[in-house]
Amino acid sequence: MVVLTPTVLPPIADEPLPPSGAGLPTAEQLDPQIAQALALVERMLPQFDQWFPAPSSESNIYSPIDNVEWTNGFWTGMVWLAWEFTGEARYRTLGERHVSSFAQRAHERINTDHHDLGFLYTLSACAAHRLIGSVEGRDAGLDAARQLLARFDPVAGVIQAWGDMRDPEQRGRMIIDCNLNLPLLYWASAQTGDDRFADAANRHLARAARLLVRSDASTYHTFYVDTVSGQPRHGSTHQGFSDDSSWARGQAWGIYGFALGARLSGEARYAEIARRLANHFLNRLPDDGICCWDLIFTDNDETPRDSSAAAIAACGLLELADILPVSDPAREAYGRWAWRIVAQLGQAYLAPMEGSNAVLLHGVYHMPNKAGVDEACIWGDYFYLEALMRLRRVWRPYWL
């Protein structure tokens, strides 16, 4: 049972949870879908043995890249999930090789000047430490956590998302995606007994709840805080439709990130925020349950879906279901919604065996930049696999 401490909730709209129209999955339903997903992961192995998949595909094909992007940990996370599903030694061997690559990357500071160290190291080095007791993984995770902590601005109370800490354009800028980078800091405190990591994560999470979540339970993608006065400046988007719309993946990062934040900080208000963000998200889905790339769009708009946001949201709904009291009827309802989304992804969004090297098609990386539009996104593949793991097993997520 998860015991959370009651804390003060900012004023945020509480929309009703729409009916999912789905039941909970059986093992007979899940097992073929898992087998299909694992076949697609296996298909990636020969090409992504030495290299990593690019963040998004081109014409549904990922190019091979070095360990230099913010997204490399998702492939390693898929390798660890495949190892947990199958127990096959080749996945463990590859995962261990990746840990050395991530250790070198942290040590040499290869493109580590951003907050996505959490995505990178939680799913690779920290997962290896959890699963196989990798000391190299623990050391690499702590190296990355120290670099992430150095991005915390104590006056603004936020972790700066991007760029050099002296860059006036980026100083004090936080983004909703960072909620998924915070688990690395909580992990580092648990490993070392040094509270500075968790204290920074707690302060960032409190700022995210106040500044990134709007009163109608939608979210800003990014928000600027003055680093001299500590005063909030303004919200804006980076990958969404407009500054005041809700970028679908941002809302999904919010659902999952606040649900994890509730468990990691022990504060009940974050579970409540995750619930309200989830209801806002679910009330804006097209009929097939897979969001458009920005929640301003609905069924009637001719615009791409973002399957990756759907997969993240499904994991968030399952985490939310997990932290609600067993007596709460919404617990099962969020599980049913997660299954409806995952079932639909499996039916209509999976890559074919020929002509692609991805798992999930029809994601959107960066619409304003016209990058990775209606393409596979490697984090979508990871979260689809994680959602299947969560639905099938009692499983401790790498984030916790």
CB of 193 to ligand GLY, least distance (A): 30
CB of 307 to ligand GLY, least distance (A): 13
Measured distance CA(296)–CA(246) in Å, rounded:
7
Which residues fall within 8 angstroms of residue 93, CB to CB, at 6 or more apart? none
Identify the helix (H) or strand (E) that includes residue 195.
none
Q: Is 116 noted as a catalytic residue in this protein?
A: yes
CB of 71 to ligand GLY, least distance (A): 8
DSSP 301: S
> Which of residues 76 and 239 has its CB atom nearest to ligand GLY in the complex?
239
> Which of residues 25 and 397 has its CB atom nearest to ligand GLY in the complex?
397
> Which of residues 129 and 238 has its CB atom nearest to ligand GLY in the complex?
238
Q: Is 131 helix (H, G, I), strand (E, B) or coil?
A: helix
Q: How far is CA 76 from CA 8, 124, 147, 185, 339, in A?
A: 38, 5, 20, 20, 24
Does 173 sit near ligand GLY (CB under 6 A)? no
CB of 149 to ligand GLY, least distance (A): 19
Cα-based torsion angle of the residue sequence 118, 55, 253, 212 in order, rounded to the nearest 10 degrees: 90
Of 325, 320, 324, the C-alpha closest to 390 is 320
Structure tokens at 111: 């493109």
Does 249 sit near ligand GLY (CB under 6 A)? yes
> Which of residues 207 and 249 has its CB atom nearest to ligand GLY in the complex?
249
Does 177 sit near ligand GLY (CB under 6 A)? yes
CB of 118 to ligand GLY, least distance (A): 10
> Which of residues 95 and 240 has its CB atom nearest to ligand GLY in the complex?
240
Catalytic member of 143, 177, 294, 306: 177
Helical axes 307-323 vs 330-348, angle rounded to 10°:
160
Contacts with ligand GLY: how many residues (CB under 6 A)? 3
Residues that bind ligand GLY (CB under 6 A): 177, 239, 249
| Residues annotated as catalytic (active site), given as ranges | 116, 177
